[in-house]
Amino acid sequence: MIVQCPKCGEKVVVNGLGRRRLNIPLKNVYEALWAHSSVEEAANELRCSQGYIYNILKANGLKLKDVFDRQVKDGVDLKGRTAISKGMR
């Protein structure tokens, strides 16, 4: 890409502007949240920020509570144990 330098006004060739997007699929974010008990641990696994996880969920119309509620609803609590054995149903 060729852009004009703001200081000297000359044309300069650059490879791109800014940092590349992470583009982590929602499925990967969802699975990382299921595997870990916190957003911080999931973010560390995916090598992204906690804010990125919240933004991905928000962009898809989800909230963090929806992800964790679904785990209990599906019969699995946050630690991977079945909710039926713990008397949660």
Walk along the chain (89 residues) in steps of 10 and give the mean pLDDT of each run: 87 80 91 89 95 94 84 51 39
What pLDDT does residue 58 have? 93
Angle between helices 64-73 and 50-59 (to 10 degrees): 80
Q: Pick from 20, 22, 16: which is nearest to 1 by CA?
A: 16
Q: Rounded CA gap, 81 and 79, in Å?
A: 6
> Whole-model pTM?
0.61
- Domain locations in the chain as residue ranges: 21-89
Q: Rounded CA gap, 25 and 49, in Å?
A: 14
